[in-house]
Structure 1
Amino acid sequence: MKALVYTAPGKVEVQDIPVPEGRSGMAKVKMHYCGVCGTDIGIFAGKHPRAQAPLTLGHEFVGSIEEICDGSGRFAPGDRVVAYPLISCGHCLACRTGHPHVCETLKLIGIDRDGGMAGYAWIDEDVLFKVPDTLSDQIAALVEPLAVVVRSLHQAEFNLLDTTVVTGAGPIGVLTAIVLKHSGASRIIVSDVDDARLELCRSFGFETVNVRDASLVDYVKDSTNGEGVDIVFECSGVESAAVEMTKILRIGGTICMTGIHKAPRTVDLREMNFKEQKLIGTRVYTKREFEMSVAYAQELAADLEKVITQTVPLSKSEGIFAMIADPSVNAVKVLVDCQA
């Protein structure tokens, strides 16, 4: 079968590799589509601390079951499925106290073991979820990043009519804003440096600020009578957002750290004290939130479809990371067609 294999920093290859073998309790899944995540970009760059070459990439995938090895009866050949890709140890403190999604040795399919940018994969049956017939394969491939956003809103304790800022208009930032719209946010301001991504945000009705041309702090203060917003979702992972997030948040407001910062940042802790602001972290999602996102994707399908900007055949995917990095391409969410 063909697979997109990370072979060295800055290098991926489409290789013909053997179809892996399954074991009891696993299903052989024919891959249909797999999304490219920011984590995949980090792996390609050689910056992920765990990913080791050779590695078949991909943890945001949808496919159909072709075979089940000693299954439970929950699934049958032909079922379309998505997979909860987290692998927890089951015995650390987090796992023992009901938080296996933040396991001390958390691993993921597509990072710590071969993933879904391939013709087939064998997946443990107990992490599979059926895809409704009304949900397209392409939208189903967005269930995993959608689950990240669902977790983020839960962690932030979002309330109806909250005012919000989303810093960063990458895939997670755009999905966050979409979920906020459907969840009843009274105001959604999205900041970024990319005009094309901000134009996409404006097509959804969001306010936008290009922080290369204007001050986000001034915009928020001027448009809120100096009060700030209820919640800031930091989705960019960049230093300037960390510096400014306390300044655009109201007294008693919440900052939700959705984006992963790869280095220590300067944060105005004095302002957090004086304003009694709350800072909450969020990492991936629970199994329940992943399951919820399968159903939720149906409600958001029309908006989610607009986020998918490119689909690349697996057979021609060796240049996919160069394409994503090219600003003229205007990539937001890119899918790999695993059967093309």
Structure 2
Amino acid sequence: MKAAKIYGAKDIRVEETSVPSLEAGHVLIKVDYAGICGSDMHEYMAGTFPIRTQPVLGHEFSGTVVEIGEGVTEMQPGDKVAVEPLIACGHCANCRRGMANLCTNSSGYGYSLSGGFAEYAVVREQNAFKLPEGMDVKLGALVEPTAVAVHAVRQSTLRLGDTAAIFGAGPIGLLLLQAVKAAGASEIIVVEVSDERREKALELGATHVIHPVEADAVQQIKELTGGGVDVAFDAAGVQATFLSGVSAVRKGGEFKVVSLWEQPVTFSPNSFVKTEAKITGSYAYVNLFPEVIRLLARGIIDGNKVITSLIPLEDIVGKGFEALASDRKQCKILVDMQLS
């Protein structure tokens, strides 16, 4: 089969490789769609993560079950599925506390195990979630990033009627916007430099959008909300959004960091000490795939509005990673395994 393998920064190659062996309790999936994630971009731009122990990328993917291993009881060939990439150990202290996303002994598809930027993948039965009849399979590739957004909102202090700001309107930012809207935020302010992404944010329910180069985002947010939002989310991961996000929340509010960072930030702790604002992080998700599948299947979160391109596997570098690096109009790019 063909698969996209990463060997270092700016070094991804589509190569022939063997199909992973089907084991007991596992299913063989013909991959239909796989999404390029922000964390994939981090590895492409800055080099591979220490957790990577094999080269086949791709942890946001959906497909069709073509063969089942011994002991599989809930899956049948022909089932359309979304794959949850995280495999928690189930035994460490964090797993026992119900925080499988923070498992200290985890593994995962696309990192330590062969991922979804390949024609076929073998996954554990419990990591494959059936898609309901009539749900577009390409939306299955958005279940994983949508779960990241939904988890962040659930972990935040946001309540019905609260105000929210989202810094960055890439895939996670736009999914956060929809999750915040579904949670009942009364005002949703999106801060984004791209004209196209700001327009998309308005289309998806933002009440206000701000270009942070042309306007003072913090000042505008405070004017719009009478002193700052209840919760701000960082979905960009750069110095400017961190500083603005911390300053944009009301006294006692929350700044929730969802993005991954290539560089450390410098800031004054006085910015939240004097306001008793909270800075919190959100990482991955815990037991959310069934709920997120329903949100996407029923259009409560519109995944199609986030997808900007479908590309063949052979063009994953030029039309995928390089396009995302250079073209701010792009948002979620999916590799479509049916294209050639």
Work out whether the TM-score is over 0.5: yes
Quick one: distance in 2 between partners of 1:276 and 1:270?
Answer: 10
Q: Secondary structure at the match of 2:288?
A: helix
The answer (yes or no) to whether the contact 2:234–2:258 under 8 Å persists in 1 is yes
* TM-aligned CA deviation for residue 53 of structure 1: 7.8
| Structure 2 partner of 1:330 | 329
| Structure 2 partner of 1:88 | 88
Q: Secondary structure at the match of 1:285?
A: coil
Question: Please, what TM-score do these two structures have when normalized by structure 2?
Answer: 0.93
| Structure 2 partner of 1:223 | 224
Q: AA paired with 1:158?
A: L
Quick one: distance in 1 between partners of 2:283 and 2:267?
Answer: 20
Q: Secondary structure at the match of 2:116?
A: coil
> What value does the CA root-mean-square deviation take over the aligned residues?
1.8
Identity of aligned residues (%): 34
| Structure 2 partner of 1:191 | 191
The answer (yes or no) to whether the contact 2:9–2:48 under 8 Å persists in 1 is no
* TM-aligned CA deviation for residue 301 of structure 1: 6.3
* TM-aligned CA deviation for residue 267 of structure 1: 3.7
* TM-aligned CA deviation for residue 321 of structure 1: 1.2
Q: Return closer, same or farther for 1:108/1:58 CA change in 2, 3 Å cut-off.
A: same
Q: Return closer, same or farther for 1:311/1:248 CA change in 2, 3 Å cut-off.
A: same
Q: Return closer, same or farther for 1:295/1:321 CA change in 2, 3 Å cut-off.
A: same
Quick one: distance in 2 between partners of 1:187 and 1:106?
Answer: 38
Quick one: distance in 1 between partners of 2:4 and 2:180?
Answer: 34
* TM-aligned CA deviation for residue 7 of structure 1: 3.1
| Structure 2 partner of 1:98 | 98
Please give the per-residue CA displacement for 1:21-61, whole angstroms capped at 9, x wherever unaligned.
Answer: 11111100010000110111122224332265861110100
| Superposition map of 1:182-331 within 5 A | 182-206=182-206, 207-225=208-226, 227-286=227-286, 288-300=287-299, 303-319=302-318, 320-327=320-327, 330-331=329-330
Q: AA paired with 1:113?
A: L
Please give the per-residue CA displacement for 1:99-127, whole angstroms capped at 9, x wherever unaligned.
Answer: 12101243321122210011111101111
Q: Return closer, same or farther for 1:48/1:315 CA change in 2, 3 Å cut-off.
A: closer
| Structure 2 partner of 1:30 | 30
| Structure 2 partner of 1:150 | 150
Quick one: distance in 1 between partners of 2:195 and 2:220?
Answer: 17
| Structure 2 partner of 1:10 | 10
Q: AA paired with 1:274?
A: K
Q: Return closer, same or farther for 1:53/1:194 CA change in 2, 3 Å cut-off.
A: farther
* TM-aligned CA deviation for residue 6 of structure 1: 1.6
* TM-aligned CA deviation for residue 299 of structure 1: 2.6
Question: Please, what TM-score do these two structures have when normalized by structure 1?
Answer: 0.93
* TM-aligned CA deviation for residue 98 of structure 1: 2.3
Please give the per-residue CA displacement for 1:219-266, whole angstroms capped at 9, x wherever unaligned.
Answer: 1122223x1111101111111122122321112211111112334323
The answer (yes or no) to whether the contact 1:71–1:125 under 8 Å persists in 2 is no
Q: AA paired with 1:223?
A: L
Q: Return closer, same or farther for 1:189/1:317 CA change in 2, 3 Å cut-off.
A: same
Quick one: distance in 2 between partners of 1:301 and 1:16?
Answer: 39
* Number of positions where the alignment pairs a residue of Structure 1 with one of Structure 2: 337
| Structure 2 partner of 1:47 | 47
* TM-aligned CA deviation for residue 218 of structure 1: 1.4
Please give the per-residue CA displacement for 1:184-243, whole angstroms capped at 9, x wherever unaligned.
Answer: 211111112222211211222421111111111111122223x11111011111111221
| Structure 1 partner of 2:68 | 68
Q: Which runs of 5+ in 1 are unaligned?
A: none
Q: Is 1:109 the equivalent of 2:109?
A: yes
Q: Secondary structure at the match of 2:302?
A: helix
